[in-house]
Amino acid sequence: MGGGIYFRRFSGGASRKRGKWWSGKRTWFLNFFYAGFEALWVFEGSTSMHCNTIQKQYQAAMHTCTARLASLLYPGGLQIGMPPLSSLRRRRHSVFLLLAVLSSQASAVPQVVDGHFHDWPKAEEAGNRIQVDGTRVWIDLHHQRATPVNLQHLDAPLELVFKVEGQTLFESTLTFSPVERGMGVALATRDQDGRVINESPYELGVVFAPTTASNRFELLIDFSSLVTKPARCRLVGVGDEVLLFDLTPREIDEPGTTPVVSIPRCPADAIRLMSWNVRFGSLLEQKERAGRILKALQPDILLLQELVDEQTAVDVASFLDETLGTRGGAWQVAASPIGSRLRSMVAARGMAPPEMVNMIRMQTDASRFVRAVAMKIDLGDERRLLACSIHLRCCGSAGGKEDLQRVEEATVIQRSLEQLLEEWECQDIVIGGDLNLVGSRLPLQVLTTGLDPSGADLDIAHPLQLDGDSLATWADPSGNAASAFTPGRLDWLLFSGSSLESVQAFILDTSDLSTQALDEHQLEAEDAPLLSDHFPVILDARKQQEDP
């Protein structure tokens, strides 16, 4: 299916803390939502039902579910957009129009590619904009149709052609959703004689946000590897105009003047939470490399994904004891069940044996379970933390079957954690993992809804890579022309903001670290990229201070 469901909370209306009002309605809403998704899955898998009938039932079921969601979650209102029925019948062409170019001057503070745009200068009118800093080009890209789209899963290819003039003539064509794959990103750069210079978007540092469906995207491309002298660039493909801007190489920094990028230390009054997808069990397959990363980060609580079925909780606990030591207690590990090929785990020191729940079944098929595990962790001072590691279904786009499965997985996880919060009498909660948000944001919205022990929504941690450029948590380690997707944010950390305060959050790509920091922590620059295609995501949090 094409299309999807998209929510935007109004700035006014419902308060952040719904308290008793929401707690009395949450269970009823979730049960209703399950019924809607069960209906969706019934006809999603049907092959005998006529196509138009399926599409109409899809639209009717989702309209009813989202209308209930709007009235129950946010009395102040939600804006709900459904795709037109025609978008379910066939793929439609996406339209990106250039409405305004704000500036081609260097920015005082380089933008962070996070899709938020708060660090862009204010524009007089809405529309696509360009910012240039040296050889780095930021584009504020707007999709002009009502239905949000996934930039790497468009109905038709979007081509941005950069024609560079100067001493070195070349032309780079950046294509989103290329015809040959129908998804992802492709790059082809040719010199004036038509010879291929590079074929991978990784060679020009292409990154954009968000990875979820949107009407607005923040895009960065860096020509520093190709432009060695001042050059003029013509951009074609965004709207009807040809945009002109200058590319100016930066001078090479003198030795000792480059910023030192190091790993922040966890404050003494905080706990370090770490989520890490370790790619097909590499935690135990590459113990030396994994050990260096863990010793450098010194996590207190680990939320792991993609351990394989053959790797047990005992195996991981033994490795953590050997690597991080047992001061404060031996490591205890809870693991999701064997059977999905990839397992999620939670690890913390000191409890023997830990209380845990590792079987959360799907609503529409009780024989299937989600890749999630929850564990109760004693923080001392009569404080208990519910920690949950999750790994949602990968791939797809907004409104597709993969996206619907992610929503169902998020829904049953949310329901189970809500029950555990009361059963275990936890004051704090943290959820971390690989959410694979490449479709809609609905799985994230479901997971955060009402799970703070206060009755509020969970807070979302906002980590950045240590070089401050982006919040991408995933990247293809090969980085060659075969790489179908550019770096993006797939891994998330959610926490109870009523009880926990975020001190700092960051993403560790060891290739960002300075030589001094690598030596200090006995790391190698390629440690993180070679161990996994996901980077460790860290949140340092402490007890929320009570108002005087």
Structure-model confidence comparison of residues 141 and 94, the more confident one: 141
Which residues on neighbouring strands pair with residue 375, listed in sequence order?
A: 356, 387
pLDDT 10s digits, 450-478: 999 999 999 999 999 998 889 999 999 87
Confidence of residue 122 (pLDDT cuts 50, 70, 90): confident
Structure-model confidence comparison of residues 524 and 380, the more confident one: 524
pLDDT 10s digits, 261-314: 899 999 999 999 999 999 999 999 999 999 999 999 999 999 999 999 999 999
pLDDT 10s digits, 490-505: 999 999 999 999 999 9
**Across residues 397-425, what is the average pLDDT?**
96
Which residues contact residue 21 at a Cβ distance below 8 angstroms, ignoring those fewer than 6 apart?
A: 75
Q: Which of 213, 196, 224, 101 is nearest to 153 (CA)?
A: 213
Helix (H) or strand (E) holding 409: helix 401-424
- Predicted pLDDT of residue 11: 34
C-alpha distances in Å from residue 1, one per residue of 61, 409, 473: 14, 19, 27
Give CA torsion, residues 74, 77, 81, 82, to 10 deg: 60
- Predicted pLDDT of residue 381: 86
**Whole-angstrom Cα distance, residue 492 to residue 236?**
35
- Residue 56 pLDDT greater than 50, yes or no: no
**Whole-angstrom Cα distance, residue 533 to residue 482?**
15
- Residue 58 pLDDT greater than 50, yes or no: no
- Residue 43 pLDDT greater than 50, yes or no: no
Residue with tokens 């050889």: 135
- Residue 230 pLDDT greater than 70, yes or no: yes
Confidence of residue 82 (pLDDT cuts 50, 70, 90): very low
**Across residues 166-187, what is the average pLDDT?**
90
DSSP-derived 3-state class of residue 541: strand
- Predicted pLDDT of residue 127: 62
C-alpha distances in Å from residue 322, one per residue of 244, 265, 295: 58, 22, 11
Percent of the chain with pLDDT over 90: 59
**Across residues 76-94, what is the average pLDDT?**
36
Q: Which of 531, 402, 540, 396 is nearest to 475 (CA)?
A: 531
- Calculate helix-pair angle for 26-44, 401-424, nearest 10 degrees: 150
405 phi and psi, to 5 degrees?
-65, -40
pLDDT 10s digits, 349-386: 987 778 999 889 998 888 899 999 999 999 988 899 99
Distance from CA of residue 88 to its chain's centroid? 26
68 phi and psi, to 5 degrees?
-65, -40
- Predicted pLDDT of residue 95: 63
Q: Which of 279, 283, 276 is nearest to 304 (CA)?
A: 276
DSSP-derived 3-state class of residue 222: strand
Whether 434 contacts 395, CB under 8 Å = no
**Whole-angstrom Cα distance, residue 290 to residue 242?**
48
- Predicted pLDDT of residue 199: 84
- Predicted pLDDT of residue 146: 79
Q: Which of 34, 113, 19 is nearest to 68 (CA)?
A: 34
The single-letter DSSP state of residue 120 is S
Confidence of residue 15 (pLDDT cuts 50, 70, 90): very low
Structure-model confidence comparison of residues 354 and 64, the more confident one: 354
- HSE of 327 in the Cβ direction (CA atoms, 13 Å)? 5
DSSP-derived 3-state class of residue 314: helix
**Across residues 217-237, what is the average pLDDT?**
92
Q: How many residues does the chain have?
A: 548
- Say how many C-beta atoms besides its own lie within 10 A of residue 409's C-beta: 27
**Whole-angstrom Cα distance, residue 103 to residue 114?**
20
